[in-house]
Amino acid sequence: MQERARVLLEALPYIQRFHGKILVIKLGGDLVENRELRDSICQDVVLLNYVGMKPVLVHGGGSEITQEMRKAGKKPKFVGGLRVTDEETMEILYKSLVGKINKELVLGISKHGGRAMGISGIDGGLIQAKKLKRGRADLGLVGEVERIDPAIIHYLISTDYIPVITPLGVDAKGRSLNLNADIVAAELAASMRAEKLILLTNVPGVLRKPKDERSLISHLSVKQAKKLIKSGTITEGMIPKVEACIKAVQGGVIRTHIIDGTAPHALLLELLTESGIGTMIERGS
């Protein structure tokens, strides 16, 4: 009994510190497609909401989209880590992200007593985007964020809803564009002046030595993070995540975190305990 009381008392100052604060949480596709992990994350999000925090979820779904493309006889093609998206791929993407994954997260939050509202970046003028140009390569309907109007998100959290956002945007021609979920989460966090951006991944965080979890770097300033990218210490799929954190911090977010979402109740461990987990990136001196 004393141990349970100690855990609750350890959480108290963090509940007080983050009460009423906006937390933008990005869920990687591998996490939302795993039923047990998704359920655990939804439970954490509902608890955070009940103790007065304002969680906003952004989700990916790359693996699901790839599976659906193959079922339709389409071979996925990537350029610089970005999925080439034609009209048919966009239909598959919309069906997988909006029609399936987003709804599963909304239902998961509802299951644990929360109120969630699923929307995409094309709803309510949330995300204005423009077609992304990458050298001579034509990526099709792939975009980059041009402007975010978070009015609809502020309205939802003010009425105690938990927004669940699919990373799509709309351009000046009225076309849907496929957007990188990490960047959407970072831009949204900055536009809302969020207290934190938390990227839930399937890795422990930034590692000084690849594949050696003991080399986890628990804290980085923006300057240090940029140096590690330049030196090649941060590589491959971790680069866009760290760059998203840098973008968020430079946009006014207080702290950003890259954590292992496969750990049970990772969000609670990161937010409500002294030690935390994963890698924190902040402005620094």
Residues forming the active site: 26, 29, 62, 182, 241
Total Cβ atoms within 10 A of residue 2: 6
Could you tell me how far CA 166 lies from the centroid of its own chain? 10
Token output for 74: 């389409």
Rg, the chain, Cα only:
18
Nearest to 95 by CA among 126, 124, 129, 71: 71
Secondary element (H or E) of residue 62: helix 62-71
Could you tell me how far CA 146 lies from the centroid of its own chain? 18
What length is written for the chain? 285
Residue 115: what are its φ and ψ, rounded to 5°? Answer: -115, 115
